[in-house]
Amino acid sequence: MKSNFFMFLMLFIGVMANAEFLTIPFAHGDPGVQIIQYSHMLLIENPESEILDTNYTFTNKESAYQLRYSFFKQTVPDYEHTRAAFAMFCLPIFWNIAGYEAQELVNFNDIDVKKDFNGDYGFFGFIRDPESDFCSGFKYVLVSFFCKENKGIIVKTLLFNNPSFIRFDDTYLEINNSFRFTE
């Protein structure tokens, strides 16, 4: 038991020592992105929130959802630890959007991220009953993070109240694929 605790303690100290030297090479700004606005997507004023600055917000005529985009550019070119920095940068954003330390994050397949969004990698999480002001008025949030190395990060949040909204019809697929990183 003592040896397991000691090994865990040494591993924790090693991770913390490495994390201390990890630079987070992202800042608010446009990483080079093309937004595709389909006919059902109405551009509305960005809601104010201390959690996350939003660059674009869309809804439909029925206000069945809000699709919000936030952009972060990479500030250190050819950074060696971009994937680790991406995860460390995005996790607190996810927790702040939820209003609690939600744990449900899943990696996207890197090949799909490249094909669908011209990015390198990403992950997403689903939040039920968010507690933050960012999600005020919504019961469900699907948060997706995408990174293109040497460009930056796109945070896509889809907020909605009716779970049947998530169905793989043309409207949902258009909402889901309404951006691409530029070259």
- The 10s digit of each residue's pLDDT in 59-69 is 999 999 999 99
What b-and-e string marks burial along 23-48, b requiring 16 or more CB atoms within 10 Å of the CB? Answer: eebbeeeebbbebeeeeebeeeeeee
- Which domains are assigned to the chain? 26-181 (3.40.1000)
Helix, strand, or coil here: 12? helix
pLDDT band at 50 (very low <50, low <70, confident <90, very high): confident
Residue located via tokens 């990060």: 153
Whether residue 33 has pLDDT greater than 50: yes
pLDDT band at 168 (very low <50, low <70, confident <90, very high): confident
Mean per-residue pLDDT of the chain: 88
pTM: predicted TM-score of the whole model, two decimal places: 0.86
CA separation (Å) from 121 to 1, 21, 176, 182?
38, 23, 16, 15
Least confident of 10-14, 35-39, 41-45, 46-50: 10-14
Contacts of 130 (CB under 8 A, 6+ apart): 97, 98, 99, 138, 139, 141
**In the predicted model, what is the mean pLDDT of residues 88-106?**
91
pLDDT digit string, tens, across residues 112-136? 999 999 999 999 999 999 999 999 9
Contacts of 20 (CB under 8 A, 6+ apart): none
